[in-house]
Amino acid sequence: MNETPRLVQVRQRVLKQNDVAARALRDRFHDRGTYVVSLVSSPGSGKTAFLESTLGALRSRYRAAALVGDLATDNDAKRLARSGVPVKQIITGTVCHLEARMVEDAFEEWRDEPLDFLFVENVGNLVCPATFDLGEALRLILFSVTEGEDKPRKYPTIFHTSDVAVITKIDLAAAVEFDAGAAHRDIQAVRPGMEMLSVSSKTGQGMDDWIASLIARREAAFAL
Amino acid sequence: MHELSIALSMLDVVAEEAERQGGGRVVAIHMKLGPLSGVVKQALISAYELAREGTGMETAELLVEDVPIVAFCGLCGGLKPIASMVELVCPDCGEPTPEIINGRELEVVGLEISES
């Protein structure tokens, strides 16, 4: 038997299912007036502290909630729950990233809650989350001054899929001799034109500007 | 190791597409992969070899074509090949090139299907 196989041309995104789920989520959140922000970073970059400060600043004027992805523990969710907003854990088991379906499932319980902001904290990982759209309106990539300036060059793909680079723990910059100029240059080399912020969740430095820009983005997204 | 999730998703896409093409045994999967997709070719191939077990796709070979990064340079007004994913600048004039045309691909582009 020597039959030649036929070749069929296809053009399908490998992650079609995730893309379809993400698009449906994005439409749904948009219709409800919920502005969705996801956060990616390596473990220990201060993602949870940044989110705590952000939730604290928003809660008096806005309805906010957070979904937190973690491999096994609910420590981060417990910490965030102290800020007084609804928080839900997504335990991913051995999965190193969140996918749109996980966000959809976790959000189900809140389907009728009116929310102005939803934050989605991804699993601490700078590689795997890059490939998966979660239906968010804005993706932040955070890295701390203690991790060094060269994060953008080491993990360019995560910078490519993010909208804003947030340098955290800026209050420690002098102590660790963080070269802000080099960090900014590297971010711009990897992703020309990328918006950059420097913040300290501890001292509050840069947080007012971040909150103001976040509120402005939501207003622009929903033409308020 | 997100490549396993990706390999499983690819198998779903391939099965659906093969069905739409009238069925048959898939003997080869052709895909395009860009460096900005966040997926490592060798890891994807290894993950695929694990993921295909028990799916009826055991004999389907995965053939991955690397797609180079191409960006639009506003200053030169043309499409330019970009040598490094950590230095998105025009190779001719040095202008930063945020507008990526190719390099993000993670796509199935062809299937070889045998009737037997």
What's A116's DSSP letter? S
How high is the mean pLDDT of chain B?
94
A11 interface with B at CB cutoff 8 Å: yes
Topology of domain B3-67+102-114 in CATH is hypothetical protein PF0899 fold (3.30.2320)
A48 falls within a domain? yes
How many beta-carbon pairs under 8 angstroms link A with B? Answer: 113
Say if the ipTM goes beyond 0.90: no
**The CATH number of the domain where A143 resides is what?**
3.40.50.300
Q: Total domain count for chain A?
A: 1
Q: Which residue of B has its CA nearest to A15?
A: B9
Q: Distance between alpha carbon A201 and the CA centroid of its chain, in Å?
A: 16
For the packed helices A16-32 and A100-107, what is the interaxial angle rounded to 10 degrees? 40
A2 falls within a domain? no
Q: What is the mean pLDDT of residues B36-65?
A: 94
A64 falls within a domain? yes
What pLDDT is recorded for position B77?
A: 94
Residue B106: list chain A partners with CB under 8 A.
13-15, 131
Q: Which amino acid is at A211?
A: I
Residue A2 has pLDDT above 70, yes or no: no
Give the tens place of pLDDT for each residue, A146-186: 998 999 999 999 999 999 999 999 999 999 999 999 999 99
Kindly state the tokens that stand for B20. 């739409």
pTM for this predicted structure:
0.92
Q: What is the mean pLDDT of residues B38-42?
A: 93
Residue A52 has pLDDT above 70, yes or no: yes
Residue A61 has pLDDT above 70, yes or no: yes
Domain of A198?
A: 16-221
Alpha carbon of B34: minimum distance to chain A alpha carbons (Å):
11
What's A30's DSSP letter? H
Residue A213 has pLDDT above 60, yes or no: yes
